Structure 1
Amino acid sequence: MTKNIIWVIDDDLIYQTIIKKLILKTGVFSAYSSFSNGKEAINILKNTLEENASYLPDVILLDINMPIMDGWEFMEEIKKIRSRIENRIKIYIVSSSIAVEDKNKSKSYSDIIGYIPKPISVNDLLAIVSIN
């Protein structure tokens, strides 16, 4: 089985606890990391790119509304380093926002594969892994 490293970027600690349980339940991810804001995640992403790119995430579940650096600002930072990332990272916006503007904005980023409303399910996670 191929490795599937998943990162969750979300400031909601209760959601992080729930999503971690769901991720473990699927059994399809070899590693899981969570970050409480986009700045923390982008810094680790840059360090991982420098040190060992094989540990880059395959999937990122990204919240939009977070302190310090929100999901959109994170996406702007990804654009700056995308050329250095060999394998495409599948990024999904996972949000409780039902704003049409957010869904439309997510479509303007080529790295965002989809928009998943919270709460996310085990089936959502399995679908993410099955999409190439």
Structure 2
Amino acid sequence: MGDKIGLACIIDDDNMYVNLVKRIVEAKNLCNNLMVFENGMAALDYFEAILNNLDKNKIPEIIFLDLNMPVMDGWEFLEKFTGIKNKLGKVITVYIVSSSINPVDIERAKSIQSVTDYLIKPVTIENLEAIFLNKTA
């Protein structure tokens, strides 16, 4: 096992879910920093701004992405993020975290190359520990 995750990112408008993940991450000391965006557009704006200075400390190693959000949903974010991901110069692991159990959504998500896995809400402490502790490079 390598170093602890430096920065993780949650893109989700569900405050209860976000607060739960924050509490688990903090209680279990799973990463150094956690950033949160309420929709895909806010996250995309952040990543596009990073392209200008490429500070690798500000690029998350893991993204937890919801599918159903206002302004820009997870599908739109993924489409646009895939276009800039390689320019960021860092391996970023993307997990879809959704309440949707629709097999069409699950298959669509898993067919996208930049998506590592599809998790159905609510995520468990065990899910998060496995992701954070096994992700280390």
Q: Give identity over the alignment, percent.
A: 33
Alignment size in residue pairs: 132
Q: Please give the secondary structure, in 2, of the residue aligned with 1:8.
A: strand
2:124 to 117, 121, 124: 121
1:24-71 Cα offsets, whole Å, 9 max, x none, are: 122120110111100001111122232313310000000000011000
Structure 2 counterpart of 1:88: 91
Structure 2 counterpart of 1:100: 103
Structure 2 counterpart of 1:39: 41
With the length of structure 1 as denominator, give the TM-score of the two structures: 0.93
- RMSD between aligned alpha carbons? 1.4
Alignment partner of 1:64 is 2:93: no
Q: Please give the alpha-carbon distance, in whole angstroms, between the structure 2 residues aligned to 1:93 and 1:67.
A: 16
Q: Is the 8 A contact 1:49 1:56 kept in 2?
A: no
TM superposition shift of 1:79? 1.6
Structure 1 counterpart of 2:51: 49
The amino acid of 1:81's aligned partner reads I
The amino acid of 1:37's aligned partner reads N
Deviating above 6 A after TM superposition, structure 1's stretches of 4 or more consecutive aligned residues are none
With the length of structure 2 as denominator, give the TM-score of the two structures: 0.89
Distance change in 2, residues 1:122/1:49 (3 Å): farther
TM superposition shift of 1:124? 0.9
Gaps of 5+ in 1: none
TM superposition shift of 1:120? 1.0
Structure 2 counterpart of 1:18: 20
Q: Is the 8 A contact 1:62 1:71 kept in 2?
A: yes
Q: Please give the alpha-carbon distance, in whole angstroms, between the structure 2 residues aligned to 1:59 and 1:25.
A: 18
